[in-house]
Amino acid sequence: MEETQCDIRIKVATSYIDDQSEPDSGRYVFAYTITISNSGDVPAQLISRHWIITDANGKVQEVNGDGVVGEQPFLNPGEEFRYSSGAVLETPVGAMQGLYRMETDAGISFDALIAPFTLAVPGLLH
């Protein structure tokens, strides 16, 4: 049997949305753009997501759901899918991490891990 390689790579870019944030009310809005690339040699579909969002006070929000932005993108080898979403924190700094549950054509499920990344108001962290 031939060895197949599932290799999903995830890149993240973040930004602070000043005009939607209300720091005096403890509302900090962040946007993030995720690029999911299939660098393996088997097609895979993103089935669900699991996010862990932690603010500077240690408050944790967990988000689970089907797909991303209402889609369950199917990625052939060499393809990528990009989407943008957002998170609201009560503090000017926080972090997100999680995973995407993926499934191959053969019905094999695996997790594509999303490494922790920081959400921060510009100028706060040096």
Domain membership flag for residue 126 = no
- For residue 95, pLDDT beyond 90: yes
Domain membership flag for residue 70 = yes
Domain membership flag for residue 73 = yes
Distance CA(58)–CA(70), nearest Å, equals 29
Q: What is the mean pLDDT of the chain?
A: 94
In the chain, DSSP finds a helix count (H) and a strand count (E) of: 0, 8
CATH number of the domain within which 92 lies:
2.60.40.1470
6 or 44: which carries more pLDDT confidence?
44
Domain membership flag for residue 21 = yes
Q: What is the dihedral of CA 89, 117, 6, 63, to 10 degrees?
A: -10
Using pLDDT thresholds of 50, 70 and 90, give the confidence band for residue 1: very low
Mean pLDDT across 40-61 = 97
- pTM score above 0.85: yes
Place of tokens 């809005």: 29
Domain membership flag for residue 28 = yes
If one counts the domains in the chain, the total is 1
Using pLDDT thresholds of 50, 70 and 90, give the confidence band for residue 4: low
Please write the tens of the pLDDT for every residue from 17-48.
999 999 999 999 999 999 999 999 999 999 99
Domain membership flag for residue 2 = no
Domain membership flag for residue 3 = no
Task: Give me the domain span that covers residue 111.
Answer: 8-120
Domain membership flag for residue 105 = yes
- For residue 5, pLDDT beyond 90: no
